[in-house]
Chains A and B, each alone.
Chain A
Amino acid sequence: MNDKKFNALLGAAAVVIVSIFAGFVVTLVVQSLPAAKQEGVAFLYGSTWNPVTTKFGALPFIAGTVMTSALSLLLAVPLSLSAGILMGEYLRAGWMRSVLNTLINVLASIPSVVFGLWGIEVVIPLVRTLATLVGAPPYGAGILAASLVLAIMIIPYMSSMTREALLNVPAGLREGAFALGLTKHEVVTGIALPFAKKSIFAGLLLSLGRALGETMAVTMLIGNATRIPNSLFSLGNTLASVIASQFNEASSDVHRSAMMALALILLIITMLAGWFGRSVMRKGMSSYGK
């Protein structure tokens, strides 16, 4: 294959990908119009979602999505950073590393419905016990249960990105630091992590994207109540979970359209998070060791 043909092929692939995305966005926008026309800007901050009276507001779902994603990141970051550092710095060879590595890879490949089932059987009863202890309603399901399982689901992404980033730290840097008499701990926190922070942050963004859009497991665990959650034990719904729940049997055209609008909001939130993350990366982490 000559260069000309190869370039044409690549160009064609690029055009296809771009047009798929454009078509995707256009579809969402066009299909959202009826709901957008009916509700106006209030769609974004309205807290009623009533298919019977066809009054639709997205706030409960935006709140549920943001809460579960933020909480799951909060839970997952310390764990995945530790696991990543362990694998990238301390267990660079040996059976323990392969065990940990395999486990985390397996974790990444478990289908989310399995996480959901496990959540129903294990996490929900645990949270229910906890809720009873602190005097919260004994639902079990809710924001906390969904966030806990989400956290476990995103650990593999962040920990493998951390591991890879640390493994890519040039050996020269490390050897130089040791030669200057730095301890292992100092090398990790002072040299390796700052060098790797960009990739680690990218792992965080990837995890955030996953958490924002995760559907199956969250739908199974969040309690599917259209209310703005006001505590860890509240029931809720996310943008993705309400679409998964109600789209198939939407009771009116505007109901269907309102869910298209939710999908658009989810897309925009995910893109904004990515864009924000990348700009932070560019500005705050332009060079290492600052």
Chain B
Amino acid sequence: MKRTIPLRAALLVGLALVGLTVAAGAQTLLGSGATFPAPAYTKMFDEYNKITGVKVNYQAIGSSGGLKNIQDRVVDFGGSDSYVKDSDFSKYPAQIVHIPTVIGAVVLTYNLPGNPNLRLTGEVISKMYLGSIAKWNDAAIAELNPGVKLPNLAIMPVYRSDGSGTTFNFTAYLSAVSPEWKSNAGNANSVSWPTGIGAAQNAGVAGVVKQTPGSVGYVELAYAVQNKMAVAAIRNASGNWIEPSLESISAAAAGAFPADTRILLVNTDAKAGYPISALTWIVVYRDQKYGNRSLAQAEQLAKLLWWMIHDGQKYVSALDYAVLPAPAVKAAEAIVKSLSYNGVPVLK
């Protein structure tokens, strides 16, 4: 029976895989979630592996997937671009905590003849995405940009078609600054866009903007920097014009910081802060004794998290993520210290 050979081979491969997973269990931490910080995490985990020998496997499956995996307790940690709301805590079998890791930002990019440096306010951006400002030479845009020659060109807003933390933060900002946006479209990973065209991922949005004169789109800062795209300066809550940069994004988190770290940085009060900045978090259970987790596993996780908010931070700037400012690190430290195993603190 020749035909059974492939079957046998498949079984062997399957068994081998199971074996590998079991063998790797001891020195491996497993996480999944947000795609936005994935490049930073990959770099950090790679460095961490060199230093400690601990392997961290992070699957960038999206924030909702990461939170779902934490709910189901199939990973050591979940990554999420949005924090878990109070009303959703009941979905988790035990208390969870949020540890901020890096800060990113959503930037506005556009395609205009000569790509002049533009200044925009949240209100103007929301009206562009609502369709009530339809031309680039609209008085509302011209007023903010004296001396810039704005063409009589239709504005084509471009949005992320895939549900994403980027959209969540962008619409959180628009909802914070525009009651009209809040009631017409609102804030979520995917919203019902009143106008415009959707494209997948940062690359898709950037592609459409690049191809289409008159378009405006929002992408992550890292993506815009790496692709040298024109980005707008935005007026923050204190009335200052802020260009998106690693400093201005980090500054957005330098104000008052809540002990549980669950804070939206959009429309920040910080004077020098870029107004569409966003934290990303790692979500873990406060008490690490669940399922058949060992104390060693809990210790490894706590040590990793501690490293990420301290030494790990030096690897993120090169990838265009902003580092956590002191108040955020302090809050995160307290949370990592609060992790326990059967009620006993994990980190001594």
* Known pairs A1-B1, A52-B188, A245-B163 / 19 extra A-B pairs, C-beta < 8 Å: A51-B192, A52-B185, A52-B186, A125-B211, A137-B156, A138-B156, A140-B212, A141-B208, A224-B161, A224-B199, A237-B198, A244-B162, A245-B190, A245-B198, A246-B190, A247-B163, A248-B162, A251-B163, A255-B190
Interface residue SS majority, chain A: loop
Shortest distance in angstroms between B60's beta carbon and chain A's nearest beta carbon? 10
Q: Would you give the 0/1 interface string for B38-63, flagging 1 where the beta carbon is closer than 8 Å to chain A? A: 00000000000000000000000111
Task: Please name all residues of chain A whose beta carbon is closer than 8 Å to the beta carbon of B189 when the two chains form the complex.
Answer: 51, 246, 249-251
Considering only residues 208-234 of chain A, those with a C-beta below 8 Å from chain B are 219-220, 223-226
> Could you name 13 residue pairs across A and B whose Cβ atoms are closer than 8 Å?
A50-B191, A51-B190, A124-B211, A125-B211, A223-B198, A224-B197, A225-B196, A245-B198, A249-B162, A249-B163, A249-B165, A250-B189, A255-B190
Interface residues of B in 59-103 (CB under 8 A from A): 61-65
Note all chain B residues with C-beta closer than 8 A to A48: 192
Chain B residues near A50 (CB-CB < 8 A): 186, 191-192
Q: Which 3 A-B pairs have the closest CB atoms?
A: A224-B198, A249-B163, A224-B161
Chain A CB count within 10 A is highest, among B65, B164, B165, B211, for: B211
Q: Is the CB of A52 within 8 A of B191?
A: yes
Main secondary structure of the interface of B (DSSP, over half): loop
Q: How far is the CA of A251 from the CA of B1 in the complex (A)?
A: 51
A229 vs chain B, min Cβ distance (A): 13
A237 to B200, CA, bound (A): 13
**Given A48-B192, A51-B190, are A249 and B63 also a contact pair (CB < 8 Å)?**
yes
Q: Does A43 contact B (CB under 8 A)?
A: no
Which residues of B, 125-171, contact A by the 8 Å Cβ criterion? Answer: 154, 156, 161-165
Cβ B197 vs Cβ A141 within 8 A: yes
- Chain B residues whose C-beta falls within 8 Å of the C-beta of A139 in the assembled complex: 156, 197, 212
Knowing A52-B186, A220-B200, A251-B64 touch, does A120 contact B193 (C-beta < 8 A)? no
Q: State how many angstroms separate the Cβ of A95 from the closest Cβ of chain B.
A: 37
* Contact A225–B197 (Cβ < 8 Å): yes
